[in-house]
Amino acid sequence: MKIFDTHTHLNDDPLWDQVPDYLQTAEQLSVDKMAIVGSNQKFNQRAVQLAQQYANLYAVIGWHPEDADAYDEPALSEQLQQKKVVAIGEIGLDYHWEQNPSAKEQHAVFIQQLELAQQNSMPVNIHTRDALADTYEILRQHPVAHGMIMHSFNGSLYWLDKFLELGCYISYSGVVSFKNAPEVRQAALQTPLDRILVETDAPYLTPEPHRGEKNQPAYAHYVAQAVAQTKNIPLATLAQATWENAHKVYQVNDKN
């Protein structure tokens, strides 16, 4: 059995100093591949560095909505050409924090990166917080043909249907294992096996039974387990489906 953590931040400060240890633990729990996701210049550079250093890691780079005011399109365009960069992300909208760039600014940077993905025939990894309706509307108007991943999905069944209709992949994080998140399990239950992905978003969103500790890519195993339990299917079946979907959307083959 092999598991692909499609969204993780080994490039982030809390994990950065012990990357070899985290990779070893991941291997022990069958988490054999991962996509390292950036959010600004510093973390994008680290994501590319890790992906080029380790055969089983890939880089997803872009400007997070919280960093929209620092968006550097020439830098991103250039970095996209580097080896092992498989997608643009995480990009999207975040209305949660008052100090975030304005909605107008976030929209502009989100749209520019969707268009850049389209031009480069790349998929996108999407962050949305308190902004499902606007995220949906922007994706509807600026769809990315090579794939759209809704990262750490936590919307209602209504929104699940809307994003599935657009052709999105739906990625579940440790939230799916939280007692107080029955709505997320409802969504996981209704997400078809050919559109579902698993991720950790480490160091955040640690799944049960490790909730409260620092998250790490190895715990994608527990996320997969929680989704499999919710769907009442064997873990190996869920792992295989998400493994194949991840390779398909990130356009990487099983050998590299």
Complex with Zn ion: residue 124 or 231, whichever CB lies closer: 124
Of 41, 36, 39, the residue nearest 9 (C-alpha):
36
Complex with Zn ion: residue 122 or 126, whichever CB lies closer: 126
Complex with Zn ion: residue 67 or 201, whichever CB lies closer: 201
- List residues near Zn ion by CB under 5 A: 201
Task: Judge contact between 102 and 93, C-beta under 8 A.
Answer: no
- In angstroms, what is the minimal distance from the CB of 243 to Zn ion? 20
Complex with Zn ion: residue 36 or 228, whichever CB lies closer: 36
- In angstroms, what is the minimal distance from the CB of 234 to Zn ion? 28
- In angstroms, what is the minimal distance from the CB of 167 to Zn ion? 22
Complex with Zn ion: residue 5 or 228, whichever CB lies closer: 5
CA dist 225 and 241 (Å) reads 13
SS3 47: helix
- In angstroms, what is the minimal distance from the CB of 90 to Zn ion? 5
- In angstroms, what is the minimal distance from the CB of 152 to Zn ion? 7
Complex with Zn ion: residue 76 or 231, whichever CB lies closer: 76
Sign of the Cα pseudo-torsion (39, 43, 44, 50, in order): negative
Q: How many CA atoms lie within 13 A of 120 on its CB side?
A: 22
Residue with the CB atom nearest Zn ion in the bound state = 201
CA dist 40 and 17 (Å) reads 19
- In angstroms, what is the minimal distance from the CB of 209 to Zn ion? 22
CA dist 247 and 10 (Å) reads 20
- In angstroms, what is the minimal distance from the CB of 37 to Zn ion? 5
The DSSP string of 155-210 is --HHHHHHHHHTT-EEEE-GGGG-TT-HHHHHHHHHS-TTSEEE---TTSSPPTTS
**Residue linked to tokens 């924090």:** 97
Sign of the Cα pseudo-torsion (204, 36, 10, 191, in order): positive
Helices (H), 200-253: 220-231, 235-249
Complex with Zn ion: residue 94 or 201, whichever CB lies closer: 201
